[in-house]
Amino acid sequence: MKSTFSILFYLKGQARKDGLYVIMTRITINGKTATFSSKQAVKRHQWDQKRGRMIGATPRANSINLVLDVIKADLVEKYNYHHILRRETIDAKRLKDLYQGIDAKPSTLLAYFDSFNETQSKIVGKGLARSTHNKYLLTRKRLGSFLKDKHSMDDMPMERINLDFIMNFERYLRDEFQMCNNSVEKLMRIFRRIVMLAVFNGLLTFDPFKHYKIKLERVERHYLTQEELGRIINKKFTIKRIDRVRDLFVFCCYTGLSFVDAAGLNKSNLETGFDGNRWLVLRRKKSGIPVRLRLLKVPSMILDKYASECEGNLLLPMGSNQRMNSYLKEIADCCRIHKAITFHTARHTFATTIALNNGMPIETLAKILGHTSIKSTLVYAKIVDQKLIDDMERLAQKID
């Protein structure tokens, strides 16, 4: 439907004490109005109501009419930019707020998403993980391409989000980007959070996700057996980058650290315990839970091997997760291992092959891994440091 837009200047009904009447500005869009003062005033007989201008060609009349022209031009420019260029739905109040510089909440999907992401970007590394922020940026990007490809729009009013739009966006992610179910679920969950935030802030009066459901599919988590891990450790690689990735992967297999935790290790995380052994002391990036882990012989040797190759205070020369995972595929092929191996496989390998298979109590393992599940927390919260040290000592005796 075509939008109707007009601007009218008129005199306020009641005169000021000095006998002058304030010139008011009225914006009308699709029958709804918003008014504000132009901060100009004239005598009633000096005003041409039909033309909406001050009568005469005196310097004062020219000055007041020029101000009115500037107000009108500014309003038209903002309307054309947001409604025509950005294809936003603009009502009279929104245009008034834009003109007056009031920071009103964006009423369109992508503008609101951008506003949220901009706010969140200020706390990246201060309570918000970079990887989490990147997922929000990706979701916004996919919504933008969906609007452009399927609706020929650069943005869309919040109130137009409905179940049909949501289902079509899910299908778009699966068809256009060949995303698996669990990857789609993560982006849809983020989309729902943004929409619910708009509901809580009063931009939407209903929850369009009320009847929408998508479930995570159970994924088999691979881990390496002792024999498979031995093949990787004993394999000789002549390519330096492959050799380095193998070493870093093995380090995670013997420590249970996630990729992001291993990449963030620095010299302040390395301590000598009162038992005389080297320990890693850190907080998990994902949960913030403190982790204490005695270094076994193999990961300790790997730290020493790469001590001279690290920048600054870092302990390991980790590259990007995506690139290193691609190298792990080459390593698995060379070692005749027919499993989908990623750096997260190392964490499962530590839990199953290194720890549990060598008799480590699951309570101690939960503390080392920094799990946040309620059951694990209730159990390992009661474990004292001495028990952790004793269990690590027994594991070291078996492994080393």
Domain edges within the chain: 5-100, 109-200, 226-399
**Binning pLDDT at 50, 70 and 90, where does residue 376 land?**
very low
Q: Is 41 helix (H, G, I), strand (E, B) or coil?
A: strand
Asked whether the beta carbons of 254 and 376 are under 8 A apart, the reply is no
The single residue listed with the structure tokens 């000055």 is: 63
Q: Is pLDDT at 116 greater than 60 in this prediction?
A: yes
The CATH number of domain 109-200 is 1.20.5: no
Distance CA 359, CA 352 (A): 10
Asked whether the beta carbons of 34 and 94 are under 8 A apart, the reply is no
Percent of the chain's residues with pLDDT above 70: 90
Q: What is the pLDDT of residue 382?
A: 35
Identify the CA nearest to 194 among candidates 268, 142, 242, 259: 142
Mean pLDDT, rounded, for 365-394: 54
Mean pLDDT, rounded, for 369-377: 52
Which of 229-233, 270-274, 388-392 is predicted most confidently? 229-233
**Binning pLDDT at 50, 70 and 90, where does residue 389 land?**
low
**Strand pairing report for 32-42 and 21-29:** antiparallel
Distance CA 149, CA 175 (A): 13
Q: Which amino acid, residue 54?
A: M
Higher pLDDT, 193 or 94: 193
Q: Tell me whether domains 109-200 and 226-399 share a fold.
A: no
The single residue listed with the structure tokens 């943004």 is: 194
Distance CA 316, CA 251 (A): 10
Q: Which two tokens stand for residue 307?
A: 């001590």
The average confidence (pLDDT) of the chain is 86
Distance CA 279, CA 40 (A): 74
Q: What is the pLDDT of residue 378?
A: 31
Asked whether the beta carbons of 324 and 343 are under 8 A apart, the reply is yes
Angle, nearest 10°, between helix axes 240-253 and 226-234?
150
Asked whether the beta carbons of 315 and 261 are under 8 A apart, the reply is no
**Cβ neighbours of residue 23 under 8 Å, at least 6 residues apart?**
9, 10, 11, 12, 37, 38, 40, 41, 42, 47, 64, 68
Distance CA 355, CA 364 (A): 9
> What are the angstrom distances between the C-alpha of 189 and each of 136, 140, 150, 155, 214?
10, 12, 21, 20, 9
Q: What is the pLDDT of residues 8-29, one digit of tens each?
A: 999 998 999 999 999 999 999 9
Q: What is the pLDDT of residue 177?
A: 93
Q: What is the pLDDT of residue 1?
A: 52
CATH class in words for 226-399: mainly alpha
Asked whether the beta carbons of 380 and 367 are under 8 A apart, the reply is yes
**Binning pLDDT at 50, 70 and 90, where does residue 242 land?**
very high
Q: Chain centroid to CA 48: how far?
A: 55
The model carries a pTM of 0.56
Asked whether the beta carbons of 139 and 187 are under 8 A apart, the reply is yes
Asked whether the beta carbons of 6 and 72 are under 8 A apart, the reply is no
